[in-house]
A and B are shown apart, each in its own frame.
Chain A
Amino acid sequence: MAKITYHTHDNKTHTIDVQNGLTVMEGAVQNDIPGIDADCGGGMACATCHVYVKEEWLDKLPSKEDGEEDMLDMAFEPKNNSRLSCQLIVSDDLDGLEVNIPSKQG
């Protein structure tokens, strides 16, 4: 279990206990946190679960697999701290993770 904090574009903060094994994307979708569309359902085939990871977490996350950076090319306003939240699998190590959800996904 990890506490994940989602900052949404309306300046609201949602801190959720997300079970290990789920993705950061699923944690948001299952808890009705707005702003993550996840159109392809977690297959790294779209870029609509795009989030900005809080800088201090960037190096602590598992590195990007092939394909994630390619999909991020398609994201809305990608930055250096952009990740696809469907590729971030929750474990105890992610306890305290904070992500910002962009104003829109496309």
Chain B
Amino acid sequence: MGLLTDPSAGQSKIIKILMKYYSKLCIILYLGGIIAFCVLAYRPFNSETYFSENALLPGLVRSEYRDGNTPHTYYRELLDEMEKYESKLPYSWLLAKFKQIGLDTYTHNFTLNYPLGKSQKFTGKNVYGILRAARAASTESVVLSVPYRPPLSIHETTAPAIAIMLAFAKFANKEKYWAKDIIFLVTEHEQLGMQAWLEAYHGISGGKEGTLNAGDMRGRAGAIQAAINLELHSIEIGEIDIKIEGLNGQLPNLDLFNLATRMCAKEGVSHTFKNRIPRRYTDPLKDWKYTFQTMLSMVATQATGIPNGNHGLFYRFGIQALTLEGFANSKDRLGFITIGRILEGTFRSLNNLLERFHQSFFFYLLPSSDRYVSIGLYIPTIAALAATLFIKAYAKWCLLHDEEENKENKDELDKPQTIDETGDHNPITRESFTLKQWEEKLKTDTTQLNQKSKVHLGHICAVFVISHLVGFGLKELPTYFAKIGVQYGYTTESSIYIGLALSTFLIILIPIFVKKPSYSSMIVLDIFALLEMGNLLICIAMYNISLAMFCGVLYIPFALLLSPTRCRLCSIVQKTCWILLHPFVLATITVFTYTFFVFWNELVDQILYKALSATQQAIMFSIVDSMVYGNWLFSVACTIMTSNWICFWYMCQYRPMIEEITKKTETSKQKVD
């Protein structure tokens, strides 16, 4: 602040130019940032992926897996078993198979105390077998996991994956070259089982304490270096999709992704990223369009912060992981042997690792499975976006400062006259005003106004702090909403939704009636809010560029334009836009539009009903995610984005007096001169 209040600060030439062109600069930076981000998908602006880790030795070894019968036998047996257990893991069969193969076999029990509504309990059981590396100490391990899906599950079956996992375990157990233990893991209840297993393995809790009771486990195999999550939906695979987006937008090390693509390519399996085959067009525009769509698809998944597979939960524990999802297609029909060879190659490479993945990129965007955009390239684009906020804040500060300076100068000029005036201060009636007297009155009034337009820092700080407390409250409230709602017979999701809707309504309503001290105070609050938003964007960009980009593109233009205004129309437009941007409203709108796009051919009332329930569920799931898995999206949306929103909202409620506006424009004109 010392530098900002330095009286000489406003005098520099650069500052003057900045003050003159800041609005244009903001527009250029905003549009430039967005365009640059889009252009990153264009081939010349990104680079080809490469292996950075020497130790991996990817694909050097000749695959020896050539047993197609064993997985088929396992698969048939498993299908028979699955008929007996419609919604549960066939534990006994799996345990028996693991033991038969010769692995150290264990089970792991977990309980979920459902955090919302009625206190319900769900239990689950994972099964895992550890292949002990015969010639090495059990200090490191790699994981091969499959989420088990019972016949009643809404997701596609993964039974072929379990069959090939068992066959691979049988094959691997005979080999003597393992330097790391291999954990073969079958989890129950999708991501919940995986999260519970990881928490139990590491003895910590990722979400809210007491929600997910992961329990303990008897068998461990040292630090997990990497994990492959396998989901095969058919015994004959046409293509493999590699999934990487994890919790809170975290990604695995690019070397692991490269390893997976290399292994698929080596075995002749067509691999896709976001279900899109790496394609190359000669027409640059077409080429860009294709890669940009792939990148956008990744951005959309990453921005939600929800893992799109069981791999996404490993990242919190510093374990690099990805999901290989195999689909059947009409083109290729590759059997178990190919998958077994891919697994063999991948695990032998992982076996070669000497330390955790640390070489290649952890932060990147993929416009195609063989090209990447590194953090060094995408950070400037979001920085350009955030810079507009800082520039605007600085410009506002300078304007305010100049105003005060001018005011002081004016006071000095006015002072002798007012003293003269006070000398014969007599009550003047309205009728007897001469032109000169009018002038005098105007002068004294404006000085009073000057007094009034002082910056009330205490007030601003109070608003700032209270808005953030509201944000924190909003984060904690849903649990209570659910409890109250359930007592009155509402479902958990609708009681949370109604509760949040009510609080949003209050949040919108209350600032309108709170006293707003002065125009300059509002400007200072605006500066605070702009700075906070800028910082928020940069911070989010550090861990989840997609979310930051999404927020930046959406919020920045409105945050920049938002200011107290006398123009009624402007004010109404401003306020409507800003209400639409309230995180809660925004979430509702997004899900509604999405539902409309997906079910566009159904009846309107049906769509509305579907959209409403989808919104309710989306919000409830984001809360449950934050409690069980430690997803940050809901917390960030409540504690920072909503709080920041309130500051802007409060600020734009102020209706300035004409003098304040005119004076401001005058001063700014003076400066330009």
Q: Is B truly associated with A?
A: no
Chain A residues proximal to chain B, CB less than 8 Å: none
